[in-house]
Amino acid sequence: MKQTLLMRRRIAVFFLLVTVAYSGLAARLFYLQILNHVRYRSEALAQRLREIEIQPKRGIITDRNGKKLAINVSLDSVVVNPRQISDPEKVARELAAALEISPDQVLTKVKKNTSFEWIQRKIDPDKAKRVRDLKLEGVYLVEESERFYPNGTLAAHVLGFAGIDNQGLEGLELVYDKELRGTPGRFRGETDAYGREIPGGKKQYVPSKNGDNLVLTLDEVIQHIAERELDRVMQETQAKGATIIVTNPRTGEILALANRPTFDPNKPLAVPEINRRNLAVWYNYEPGSTFKIVTAAAAIEEGVVKEGDGFYCRGGMQVADHYIGCVTAHGSQTFAEVVKNSCNVGFMTIGLRMNKDRLYRYITAFGFGSVPGSDLPGEAQGILLPLDRVGPVEQANIAFGQGIAVTPLQMITMVGAIANHGVLLKPQIVREIRDESGNVVKAFSPVEVRQVVSPGTADLVARLLEGVVEDGTGRQAQIPGYRLAGKTGTAQKIVDGRYVSDKHVASFIGFGPVDDPRLAVLVVVDEPKGAYYGGVVAAPVFKRVMEDSLRYLGIPPAALPEEKEETERAVEVPGVVNLPPEVAKKVLEERGLPYKLEGEGGVIIDQTPPPGTMVAPGTRIILVQGEANPSPGMVTVPNLKGQTMRQAAQTLAEIGLTLKPVGTGLAVSQDPAPRTRVPAGSLVVVEFRPPATEEQAEGTEPPVTP
């Protein structure tokens, strides 16, 4: 009886425990399946889903006319799913051979317990084909886009470059990375434990949003012109560096900005870091005489000088206990002549007529001492002495561009204010942001910073600068038919705290046409070898950039005044060397030029004046005949004396010879000598020397001497 009762109690306890256990299990199942089913179902799904990020296409960058400066190209990247690879050693060995990389590097990744590993990204098509032909298990090619700059080095310092993940790293690629990059999308698909897609499994697709496009203010053609001239001046002068900036002074838009040395944004790490620095916005240099524009504008606005005021230069001037020299004794001059001759004494005199507070007010109003705000990264603000450290000597030095450091972008912004009737504009490099459909997301308009000087003052300064080009130190910047304003600059550099006589910065800055300014151009050449005057080194570069850009923009030359009518009718002498006499006669007759034949022979072996010379209509051209060399491929070396480097290069190129220039200026000697017969393609070494001009009256601003 007792045993039966005990057995019943045990059975009751057992059933009670079972009931409690099942009740707990039921409660747990209710909690999991009913109360939290959404959470656990999503977690379970997440374990089965493999997510692949879909990269958007980076927005393109174009010039103002839609010419593409930065685009995207599609390349294949190699990825593996280690869980699908049964023979890692074989896959690593064959894949490494196809990609030309270390097998150990591949093996480490294919042995990982993951379902996705990058092996090599953005490979060339040949490697992609080799990988595709292998047909290895667990190895896939994924299409990715890579940034490509179709023009190579063109506008490299403006564009910058992007990294392997299409992230902006320098230049506008960095500044506008958020707008250009876009928004990634994603694809999710259900996979099994081995990473294989489950047929009929759940899929999720969120499309990516491509980046917006940048439309710059740059003009690709003008940018090409500027970079072409930079390459030329670097070759001719063997300079350390050079910068050219071209703007529209009415809007502040930057039409071209280029530096040397430079780099290819497709291979940015192939050159030293210094090559990637944007000298146009970063380089601090003493402006020399180009800064006299600021002094002149301030003095005229303050009423301390008038155009006809007289000055006398004895070759230097005593300021406090220092004697500050001028390159030469200019004697008696009007203020207009002081500007034209770039006289240091004259500018020191008018600079000291203003107290330093007034002078500094205009310096800062023109934007010096602060960043211009162009959106280009790395902008420097220049170097200004604190006002409390400016005494009479420092004030006199600053008046002619010494003892102050500026950037090229600050200088072109300043001269743009003079061309724009005294209104300073913020430099602009981005014109619009557009979406991938071409709709304007954001448009940028000219931004007026301030009215620095009155329109009357600005127009008077422009007239004075026009005299510099017409009959002053900037005569080599003249372009027939165009009224141009400009200023030369030649500054000694400071090394170890002292001015040195063998390192200079040559520059020229100007705008035109004066009556309706369409272009402002700055040329800065750092440490040119040989000639170093701004009027000899930089002014001709300014001329070529301005001339080609004006013609490209369709801006016609103005009608010349009557006294210049003869010059307007001048005829350029064509090159007829190496032509048969009958052909040479016809070429000259078409130009309205008479001729005189000397000697005998079947070809013209020399001519006077040389090709490229501008002569009055009716000028007789002397042609010298000689025997044609029966040897094929032989040509006669023409007489190049008096020609510019451009004319000499063109003359030689027309007959199949190559120029090797030495120096700058006009041709004074050559090797081989004129009339020598040489094989086509031969090298002609020509020595160039600067002509004796009033540029020598500007010279280098000498350092202060006690």
The class of domain 220-562 in CATH terms is alpha beta
| Inter-residue contact 172 to 211 (CB < 8 Å) | no
Mean pLDDT over residues 131-152, rounded? 84
565 CB-contact burial (10 Å; exposed 0-12 / middle 13-18 / buried 19+): exposed
Give the DSSP letter of residue 176.
T
- Alpha helix stretches (DSSP H) within 528-591: 534-537, 539-552, 565-568, 581-590
> Can you give the pLDDT at residue 45?
55
Extract the tokens encoding 203.
Answer: 């899929």
pLDDT at 197: 57
pLDDT average, residue stretch 649-670: 76
Label the pairing between strands 49-54 and 203-206.
unpaired
The better pLDDT of the pair 655, 138 is held by 138
Per residue in 20-39, pLDDT (tens digit) is 888 878 777 777 677 766 66
DSSP states along 202-262: -EEEE--BPPPEEEES--HHHHHHHHHHHHHHHHHH--SEEEEEEEETTTTEEEEEEEES-
Q: What is the maximum span of the chain, computed from C-alpha positions, in angstroms?
A: 156
Q: What is the mean pLDDT of the chain?
A: 84
Facing residues of 324 across strands? 317
Q: Which of 577, 580, 629 is nearest to 607 (CA)?
A: 577
At the fourth CATH level, the homologous superfamily of domain 51-216 is Penicillin-binding protein 2a (Domain 2) (3.90.1310.10)
Of these ranges, 87-91, 196-200, 265-269, the one predicted with the greatest mean pLDDT is: 265-269
pLDDT of 1 over the 70 cut: no
Spatial distance between the Cα atoms of 454 and 382, rounded to a whole number of angstroms: 25
How far separated are the first and last CA of the chain, in Å rounded?
133
Query: Nearest 5 degrees, angle CA 391-CA 393-CA 394?
Result: 65
**Which one of the listed residues 289, 342, 374, 549 is annotated catalytic?**
289
Is the pLDDT assigned to residue 113 strictly greater than 80? no
- Between 235 and 165, where is the model more confident? 235
**Mean per-residue pLDDT for 476-500?**
90
- Per the CB < 8 A criterion, the answer to whether 182 and 56 are in contact is yes
**In this structure, what is the dihedral angle of CA atoms 345, 349, 355, 361, given to the nearest 10 degrees?**
-60
In this predicted structure, what is the pLDDT of residue 143? 73
What integer pLDDT is reported at residue 240 of this predicted model?
95
Tell me: pLDDT of 297 over 80.
yes
Q: How confident is the model at residue 697 (pLDDT cuts 50, 70, 90)?
A: very low
231 neighbors 457 (Cβ within 8 angstroms): no
pTM above 0.75, yes or no: no
155 or 202: whose pLDDT is higher?
Answer: 155
Q: What are the tens digits of pLDDT across the range 234-262?
A: 999 999 999 999 999 999 999 999 999 99
Q: Give 166-198 pLDDT, tens digit per residue.
A: 899 999 999 999 999 988 876 555 565 555 556
Spacing of C-alpha 485 from chain mean position: 24
Is 269 or 24 the better-scoring residue by pLDDT? 269
Q: Which residue has the tokens 């399946």?
A: 33
For residues 260 and 228, give the distance between their C-alpha atoms in angstroms, rounded to a whole number. 11
CATH number for 570-689: choose from 3.40.50.10800, 3.30.470.20, 2.60.40.420, 3.30.10.20. Answer: 3.30.10.20
**8 Å CB contact between 648 and 659:** yes
Mean pLDDT, range 666-684, rounded to an integer: 80
Q: In whole angstroms, what is the distance from residue 448 CA to residue 416 CA? A: 12
Of 517, 495, 513, which Cα lies nearest the Cα of 504?
A: 495
Short-list 488, 73, 152, 455, CA closest to 289: 488
Q: Matching CATH topology for 220-562 and 570-689?
A: no
Which stretches of 238-367 are DSSP H helices? Answer: 279-282, 292-302, 335-341, 344-353, 356-365
Greater confidence (7 vs 213) lies with: 213
**Per-residue model confidence as pLDDT tens digits over 555-606:** 998 765 544 444 445 677 777 777 788 878 888 887 788 887 777 777 777 7
Give the position of tokens 């930057």: 254
In the predicted model, is pLDDT for residue 700 greater than 80? no
Query: Residue for token digits 């000499």?
Result: 648
Per-residue DSSP letter, 403: S
Mean pLDDT, range 490-512, rounded to an integer: 90
Each domain of the chain, given as residue ranges in start order, spans 51-216, 220-562, 570-689
Q: How far apart (Å, rounded) are the C-alpha atoms in residues 411 and 420?
A: 14
Query: Residue 374 catalytic?
Result: no
Q: What is the pLDDT of residues 330-360, one digit of tens each?
A: 788 899 999 998 999 999 999 999 989 999 9
Residue 532 has pLDDT above 60, yes or no: yes
pLDDT score for 486: 96
Nearest of 344, 322, 325, 319 to residue 333 by alpha carbon: 344
pLDDT for position 692: 44
Q: Going by C-beta distance under 8 Å and a sequence separation of 6 or more, which residues neighbour residue 349?
A: 311, 317
Q: Which two tokens stand for residue 290?
A: 């180009």
pLDDT of 323 strictly over 80: yes
Say whether pLDDT at 459 is over 80. yes
- Residue 364: alpha-carbon gap to chain centroid: 26
Position 189 scores a pLDDT of 59
- 528, 534, 536, 538 alpha-carbon torsion, rounded to 10°: 80
| pLDDT at residue 497 is higher than 70 | yes
What's the pLDDT at 464?
A: 96
Rg (CA), the chain: 37
Percent residues over pLDDT 70 in the chain: 87
The residue-averaged pLDDT of 72-94 equals 81
Q: What is the pLDDT of residue 38?
A: 67
| DSSP state letter for 675 | T
Q: Is the pLDDT at 204 greater than 90, yes or no? A: no
**pLDDT for 169:** 93
| Residue 672 clears pLDDT 60, i.e. is over it | yes
- Among 317, 322, 369, CA closest to 346: 317
Higher pLDDT, 683 or 173: 173
